[in-house]
Structure 1
Amino acid sequence: MPLWDAFAAVFCSWKNARAVTYRRQHNIPIDWVTAVNVQAMVFGNMVDDSATGVAFTRDPATGDYALYGEYLVNAQGEVVVAGIRTLQQMNVAGKLAHRSKLPAMEEVMPEVFQKLNAVRHSLEQHYGDMQDIEFTVQRGKWYMLQTQVGKRTASAALKIEDCVRYGG
């Protein structure tokens, strides 16, 4: 289906009976409009220079300012949460702390790791809080899929609040 046909289908669906009933039930005015988002599909399961993972801008257990997270080479997101493969650590410090023999992203994809590490500071500055970042690497290129406020322990929350507020 050509892209313009997809746009048209979304806008036409705004007028179908189901959409009209939904808007009526939820008091959504008829003169409001809908939107279409276009995004690229990226695949972390293409080859060994592709991956997927989740990273935090700080350690969610301690609040320490260190990139923290896990990833898998040649995988898609559902494999990370399914628990069918052993996750790899983002950095060497995490690898050592978890006594992992698997290589850290910092070791096998240093350019991607540096990009992610650089972006984390900007995200914290923009959102004013620790971020949880979902990402995919396709053929060596890093893509951020989403970011949101990261869950953390109570003691980490206190430390993070002070650090973000006062620049620590």
Structure 2
Amino acid sequence: MCIFAKVNRDLYTADNDLLSLCSRLYNWWKRPEGWGVWHRDQKAKSMTTISAMRLASLVTAINVLVASGFSIAAIFRPEAVVPAGSIPTQASLLLAMYAAARTIPLALFALAAIYKRATSALLILGTLAGAVQLLDAGIGLFQHDLGKFAGPLFIAVLQFFAVYLLHRSVRTSAPLL
């Protein structure tokens, strides 16, 4: 008889605790600063993440497609990428093929990450694509060619900015555990 009384008392206490918890959650939910604010904030954060993902996807796609386009163009028209006054040789064709061998896989993987909406992959590949453009700007500076310096530098800055916005939005919208 004593065991049944203890079990009954424990069930009553558990029911009472559950009722108290439900009551507190209901009161929190119906307050203007409760659920509604949290839900609106989460929706705003997710919209920020969506916007940042779209921007990073667009900038990364343009970046890798432009880089791949120039490396492919250099294979067919090496005079387009060699310094002014230089004569394209077999060596410039070979270097153009090396450039294409690096930029085409980067473009394919970046476009796959965009298609799959893989945020972490886009962060990594976007940063890599930005670093490649920054190095291309360094090569343009070394050649004293303003066009080959300013274009890649602009794309690199834009790429790093888009990756930064995506990283910040993902970091702020991550669930707290």
Interval of TM-score (by shorter of Structure 1 and Structure 2): under 0.3
Report the structure number with the largest CA radius of gyration. 2
Give the alignment's TM-score, normalised by structure 1. 0.21
Higher percent of residues as helix = 2
Higher percent of residues as strand = 1
Give the alignment's TM-score, normalised by structure 2. 0.20
